[in-house]
Structure 1
Amino acid sequence: MRSALLADAPAIREPLHAPVAHVSRGGVIEGIHYGSVVVLGGDGEVRFSVGDIEAACYPRSALKPVQAVAMVRAGLPLDGELLSLAMGSHSGEERHLAGSRRILELAGLTEDDLCNVPDLPYDPAVRDRWVRQGRPPSRLAQNCSGKHAAMLYLCTLAGWPLETYLDPAHPLQTTIADVVAELTGQHIAHVTVDGCGSPLFSVSLRGLAGAAARIATAAPGTAECRVADALRGHPEMASGTGRDVAELMRSVPGLLAKDGFEGVQIAALPDGRAVAVKIADGANRARVPVTTAALARAGVDPRLLTGVEGDPMTGGGRPVGSIRPVAALDPTAVPTSA
């Protein structure tokens, strides 16, 4: 997309977040999570918002579908499970490690060529087994290994340098940056380094929701459609067994969804309705109920969202409270009398 067609970069400022979720215990509000939420209609216009949807924010791993679109456009020949893994924040299950190895094998490379940080598996149960077995942190176990393997594979096909593939000035990363700007419809506000070591691009929450909508509505045969089909068809490869983002896609027909660290979530429907969520304190526990409330605001049948609303607050091993979206966000909330 030509630069003249892009909106200005979002302002870098302290976001004007607002309350989005209440933490209640025994009927008393024990805590409040602040954040921002945007709901887009099928026409791309804002239908509902809370907080600051125009300030610059880091999408973290919620940007991975956009990065995948850029790589597919540039010639990455993956589809299905392996393409889903290429945009994954995986749990570190053996199928995830095997998939990352397979991508590296296709490139004629090994784990030693990865430049992401060694880590233990993300899933607690998988991580505990890993530790009991005496296995050390590894680059394959780190939750972004599929993305890094795919980046290296594309570099081998394009003839780009391998050792510097994470440099923001590398052809791979400038290609990705161009597509981030195109799909979000705005110039990038700032570039820094994500937790895994790859460049991280700052955009607005509204722009992020727009990018998700463009991928979810893409025509067959496009890179965007290939990415959407892979993620919808193989949600556990981009996450893991029992992960809420996979369950969300299984529960809502046609939904494309991706989570990110620091409380970020995108979700988009095939008709263009989309939501993006940022929890100010990065709390994962608030991300799920706020996202489901935003989807209900977008018109998703709340019955489809039952069971994907987050974990209860417990006391003595039994439920004693909940984390609920604030009434202004929750379309199912019963209005109170003045």
Structure 2
Amino acid sequence: MFDLLLGTVHRGWVAESHHRGRVCVVGPEGTLLALGDMAAPVLPRSALKPFQVVAMLRNGLDLTEELLALAGASHTGQDIHLAGALEILSRSGLTVDDFRHTPDLPQDPEALRAWHLAGRGKEPLAHNCSGKHAAMLRTCQLAGWPSEGCLDPAHPLQQQIRATVEEYCGVVGEPVVDGCTAPAFATTLPGLAAGFGRIAAESDGPGRLVADAFRQHPEYTSGIGHAVVRLTTQVPGAIAKIGAEGVLAVGLPDGTGVAVKMSDGMGRGRFEVVDAVLASLGHPVDSAEPECEVCPEVLAMLEELGTRHGPREP
């Protein structure tokens, strides 16, 4: 099955760009909406971070709520993110020299400008995954595992993470190398949506701790002014996480999960599609000026979804 046309970008009256993709909505009772190929493997990339943090909590990770959010972040390199990653390291007596992942630059434009003015180049601290990697090092220390080789799929930490991802989402095939050099696990879009619905509905345990951290501190999981913050603050109880190559997943406290994968790997269109899905489920979001218009055919299917599955009590 081919991916569907989800959105169009217009310049004046001209349809200038078209964005295809897949959309899945899963509730506690099963799949509610499936647009596109649901059997194809998907790399959620950083959208798996909530489950990675659950695995770390199960093995002793001891962070404040803000730092838990940062451990699951794709941050933009703002001051709160860099300071938080350094704080996680310092708790274990570590420094940035102990990082084992790839270097990068801050993604936030103002943070990047300040970084360049300070004469700094690519560094592991500025990588959007540095909070996760600091938390991985902390977890290894607390669990008594060697930090050496902690990004190897055979390391106990990565084995625990794989088992947790399998529990929540299901795992397809062997791991590949993510952009930060950590293992990346594939799943399916229904698996990703179901995992987000489950973690958002948990009432206790590590899953609830992670969900609460994502709800209360979205500026740590993304960045001040990020679309994730807008969505999370406007939809009560929601958690949201982006992933590279056009992935976005949302969990609602009633157990509903939404997952989108844009075929072209671009971020453009994914928030507009998810906003439309949430509106159909009774959770309207006041968006910034949209870059992409959701296709009328998709909106019609979402209207029908809303008729069948309106707002539900968590």
- Using the size of structure 1 for normalisation, the TM-score is 0.86
**1:239 maps to what in 2?**
222
Alignment match of 2:185 (pick from 187, 197, 201): 201
Equivalence for 1:329: 298
User: In structure 2, what is the equivalent of residue 301 of structure 1?
Assistant: 283
What secondary structure, in the 3-state scheme, does the structure 2 residue paired with 1:140 have? helix
Q: 1:29 to 1:148 in 2, by over 3 A?
A: same
**In the alignment, which residue of structure 2 is the partner of 1:316?**
none
Task: State the shift of 1:107 in Å.
Answer: 1.3
The size of the alignment, in residue pairs, is 304
Moved over 6 A (4+): 332-335
Is 1:289 equivalent to 2:275 in the alignment?
Answer: no
Distance 2:83 2:132 in 1: 14
Please tell me whether the aligned partners of residues 79 and 111 of structure 2 are also in contact (alpha carbons under 8 angstroms). Answer: no
Alignment of 1:75 onto 2:44: no
Query: Counterparts of 1:148 and 1:232 in 2: how far apart (Å)?
Result: 21
**Secondary structure of 1:329's partner?**
helix
Query: Counterpart of 2:309?
Result: none
- TM-score computed with the length of structure 2 as normaliser: 0.92
Q: Deviations over 1:153-172 (max 9, x none)?
A: 00001111112100000000
Aligned to 1:8: none
Measured after TM superposition, the shift of residue 230 of structure 1 is 0.6
The whole-number CA distance in structure 2 between the counterparts of 1:161 and 1:233 is: 32
Structure 2 counterpart of 1:270, from 245, 248, 253: 253
Quick one: percent identity of the two aligned structures?
45
- Matches of 1:334 and 1:295, distance apart in 2: 11
Contact 2:41 2:186 in 1 (8 A): yes
1:25 — aligned with what? Answer: 11
Equivalents in 2 of 1:329, 1:176: separation in Å? 35
| Equivalent residue letter for 2:197 | A
1:305-320 correspondence runs (5 A): 305-308=285-288, 311-312=290-291
Name the CA distance, whole Å, in 1 between partners of 2:260 and 2:303: 23
Using the alignment, how far apart are the partners of 2:25 and 2:296 within structure 1? Answer: 16
Higher helix share: 2
Cα separation, 1, equivalents of 2:202 and 2:302: 34
Cα RMSD (Å)? 1.8
Does the 8 A contact of 2:194 with 2:256 survive in 1? no
Aligned residue number for residue 55 of structure 1:
40
Relative to 1, partners in 2 of residues 1:52 and 1:108: Cα closer, same or farther, differing over 3 Å? same
Out of 6, 20, 28, the position equivalent to 1:34 is 20
**What is the alpha-carbon distance in structure 2 between the residues aligned to residue 88 and residue 334 of structure 1?**
32
CA–CA separation in structure 2 for the residues paired with 1:245 and 1:38:
19
Structure 2 partner of 1:192: 176
Measured in 2, the distance between the counterparts of 1:82 and 1:53 equals 34
SS of residue in 1 equivalent to 2:296: coil
Shift of 1:214: 1.1
